[in-house]
Amino acid sequence: MVCFAVALGVIILCGFISLPVAKDTCDLYAAVGQNLTLPFVYDGLTNFKTLRWTHNDTIIFYSRWGSVYVGNSKDISATGSLLLKNLQFSSAGTYEATVNFIDTWTGRLCMMDKVSKPQLTYTCDSNAVNLNCYVADAQGLVFSWTLDENALISETKQNLSRSLAQLKGQRNFTCSVANKVSKEKSDTVRPTCKSPTLLCFPSKTVVAVVAGGAGLNLLSLIIIIALCYYHRRNKTCLGDDRELRMDSLINPEYEIMHPIENPPPLSLESSPGQCY
């Protein structure tokens, strides 16, 4: 009894292990409204063979001994492949082809919408142009960019930025969006961003101007100091002379005690070192 239970458990376990795993991946992709031929090829298919196609375990084509019982013979090629027309989301699922009741091909079809045409826009800032490839539903889409008809291989995001220094003159941009069943391209856009106006000079010129300005400032400072000194000296000398004359008027004995020998004549012109 124990041996029988152990044997039964082993059989059940092996049965669970051998169960097929549900297939979640897609072998084929198609867009709504598209026609698709399922890639089945059977060499030596004749009217004496039995050919059957199923969709999710429902027979959609059946022929035997040259007679077609389900479906249309025009949808079957000479090798047994099946043509699907005007696909809809309900067309998704698993397709199986059997010849003489032996499964020979199985494939899972997934349906998708076609992508819509993207709208390419741009904005300018102080030193760059920023482009946006707008599409209504961007999830799962692949983006690509071209600059002057040259593909930008490394750019795969929805947004693109380029510095104005890299864009000399007018350049043409386009973006494309794609999924597994379709691809659409935007209209060409030519950004008109302008670089900020800057006065640029060679470094040697800048150094020369700075040095010249510093030298000019120093020379001006020296001249100002000399003029101030000269003006102050003249003022001091004139003040001493006035004081001497006032003492002479107030105190006549001052001239006697401090005689002025041979006073120089008055002159409108002053020489260095002389005060009047």
- The DSSP string of 10-67 is HHHHHHHHTSPPP--S-SEEEETT--EE-----TT--TTSEEEEEETTEEEEEEETTE
Whether 46 and 99 map to the same domain: the answer is yes
Give the β-pairing of 142-147 and 150-151: antiparallel
> Structural domain of residue 36, as residue ranges?
24-112
Distance CA 73, CA 118 (A): 41
Whether 108 and 30 map to the same domain: the answer is yes
* Domain containing residue 126: CATH number: 2.60.40.10
Whether 168 and 227 map to the same domain: the answer is no
> For the chain, what is the domain count?
3
Whether 45 and 97 map to the same domain: the answer is yes
At 89 the three-state DSSP class reads: helix
Per-residue pLDDT band for 240 (boundaries 50, 70, 90) equals low
Contact at 8 Å (CB) between 183 and 176?
Answer: yes
**Pick from 135, 158, 185: which residue ends a domain?**
185
More confidently predicted of 151 and 2: 151
Question: What DSSP letter does each residue of 187-236 carry, written as one string?
Answer: PPB-----PPP-----HHHHHHHHHHHHHHHHHHHHHHHHHHHHHHHHHH
Whether 212 and 141 map to the same domain: the answer is no
Of the chain, the end-to-end C-alpha distance in Å amounts to 148
For the record, the structure tokens of 158 come out as 């929805």
Q: Has residue 100 been placed in a domain?
A: yes
232 φ, ψ (degrees, to nearest 5): -70, -40
* pLDDT tens by residue, 40-68: 988 878 877 899 999 999 999 999 988 89
Whether 236 and 209 map to the same domain: the answer is yes
Q: Has residue 128 been placed in a domain?
A: yes
Average pLDDT score over the chain:
77
Q: Has residue 232 been placed in a domain?
A: yes
Whether 102 and 124 map to the same domain: the answer is no
Whether 136 and 178 map to the same domain: the answer is yes
Does residue 86 register a pLDDT over 70? yes
Q: Has residue 165 been placed in a domain?
A: yes
